[in-house]
Structure 1
Amino acid sequence: MLEVITLLGKTIAVISACWAIVSGVGAWKREFIGKRRIELAEETLAAFFEIKDAIAFIRSPFASVGEGESRVVGDREKPEETELLNRGHIVFERYEKKREVFIKFETLKYKFMATYGEDSEAIFKDTNKTVNSIFSSARLLATQYWQRQGRVQMSDDEFKKHLEGMQKHEDVFWDTWEDDDVIRKQLQSIQNRLDAVVASTFEEPMPTYKLLTKKLW
């Protein structure tokens, strides 16, 4: 009987030791993965905040002397045309100054997708669409709307349509610093989706996780 009890005790000790190893490795693995997810989430959030600041800089309606003049001037451009084209070119110059911010965010895309799923790619795609919409409006304003303003004779209906189109693109081109600013609203919507995707990463561990990693002796 004593031998049976002794053998049973050794068996329990072995099982306990195995459980300790398994639960310890599992806990370490979960902690390591959790830490990596948190680091990735924080890095992506920080990169997106930098994107928002960079876009605010790009869209600032205040221009310094000489901004936009890096553009190659066409041989047949008139001075007034050059002035308007240079004005539109300002956003491209400013983007170049902040290029690394956008590259940094883009380099996180595939790692983020691998962690949070393929659907999360939409966050990065929509951010790029927002940036590209600024460039598109800049081109249209500089090459069409501003060039026509006060220089091309239009009917009342044509002029109304012209003003509406110009206003629409200027709302994209220039930052109004208002809550209803079209680009700021788009960026806030993207940020809300990003926050929702990473929210679970910052939550407390599940009770079941605590149970599975709890020592039994």
Structure 2
Amino acid sequence: MLDFISSISILIAALAFIAGVSAWKREFIGKRRIELAESVLALFYEAEDVIRQIRSLHSFEGEGSIRKRNSNELEEESRILDRAYIVFERHKKREKLFAQIHSMRYRVMAAFGTSAAEPFEELNKIICEILLAARMLGNNYWQKQGRVEMVSVDFKKHLEEMRSYEAVFWCMDEDKDKILPRVRKAVENIESITQAAFVSEDKDSILGDVINDIRNFITKPKKI
């Protein structure tokens, strides 16, 4: 009888220990998810502001002038290329931010699922499109504007394409801007994805996991 009571006491103590470990494990994982969510949200919020700064219509004296010039560039050509290079210069100053965001992609996917990659991919796509617009405007459209004779149809096409790139290159009015709504959508997506880290887990889910841990302990083959 005493052996039976002793065995029951040991079993109860073991089950209490397993339940405690299970609760601690869930709390630890939950805390890490919250910390990860807070970090990635802060970076996306910062990226939204930085993208606005990169695309700002206002420039400071000397911006774009660090671009390496070709020896045969004309002054007007240099001015156009420098203006387009402002975007590259601004991006260069904040490229560590975007590298940091990209480096968190797989951690966020591991914690919140593979669909979490979508806002990261969209943000990277947006940056690539802004830099492409700068390159196309500086090397092509702005160089031709008012300097290359075109027939009416070609000139109309030229203007449409140039304005399309400028809508990516510069911040526009909200109804015309091609980039800011997409950035805002990417931020909203990462908010939605990481929201799970801040929502209290269902008690039935917690209890279910504890019971599973206990069941695994009981059914685990014992060494003789």
TM-score (norm 1): 0.89
Q: For residue 207 of structure 1, what is the aligned residue in structure 2? A: 203
Q: For residue 33 of structure 1, what is the aligned residue in structure 2? A: 29
**Of 150, 170, 183, the match for 2:166:** 170
- Go from structure 1 to structure 2 and tell me whether the alpha carbon gap of 1:168 and 1:103 turns closer, same or farther (over 3 Å shift): same
- Go from structure 1 to structure 2 and tell me whether the alpha carbon gap of 1:18 and 1:196 turns closer, same or farther (over 3 Å shift): same
Shift of 1:177: 5.3
**Of 174, 181, 184, the match for 2:177:** 181
Q: For residue 66 of structure 1, what is the aligned residue in structure 2? A: 62
Alignment RMSD, CA only?
1.9
Q: 8 Å contact 2:48–2:184 — kept in the other structure? A: no
Q: 8 Å contact 2:167–2:176 — kept in the other structure? A: no
Q: For residue 129 of structure 2, what is the aligned residue in structure 1? A: 133
- Go from structure 1 to structure 2 and tell me whether the alpha carbon gap of 1:198 and 1:151 turns closer, same or farther (over 3 Å shift): same
Between the aligned residues of both structures, percent identity stands at: 39
TM-score (norm 2): 0.86
Shift of 1:10: 4.5
- The answer as to 2:87 corresponding to 1:76 is no
Deviations 1:69-125 (A, max 9, x none): 011111111111100000000001111111221122122112122222334323222
SS of equivalent to 1:25 = helix
SS of equivalent to 1:200 = helix
Q: Distance in 2 between matches of 1:128 and 1:210?
A: 37
Q: Distance in 2 between matches of 1:11 and 1:128?
A: 60
SS of equivalent to 2:88 = helix
Q: Distance in 2 between matches of 1:94 and 1:211?
A: 52
Residue pairs, 1:1-217, within 5 angstroms: 3=1, 10-176=6-172, 178=174, 181-211=177-207
- Go from structure 1 to structure 2 and tell me whether the alpha carbon gap of 1:179 and 1:36 turns closer, same or farther (over 3 Å shift): farther
Q: 8 Å contact 2:109–2:116 — kept in the other structure? A: yes
Q: Distance in 2 between matches of 1:125 and 1:210?
A: 33
5+ long unaligned stretches in structure 1: none
Shift of 1:173: 0.4
Aligned partner of 2:29: which letter?
I
Q: 8 Å contact 1:179–1:185 — kept in the other structure? A: no
- Go from structure 1 to structure 2 and tell me whether the alpha carbon gap of 1:133 and 1:116 turns closer, same or farther (over 3 Å shift): same
Q: 8 Å contact 2:40–2:104 — kept in the other structure? A: yes
Residue-pair matches, total: 210
Aligned partner of 1:34: which letter?
G
Q: 8 Å contact 2:40–2:101 — kept in the other structure? A: yes
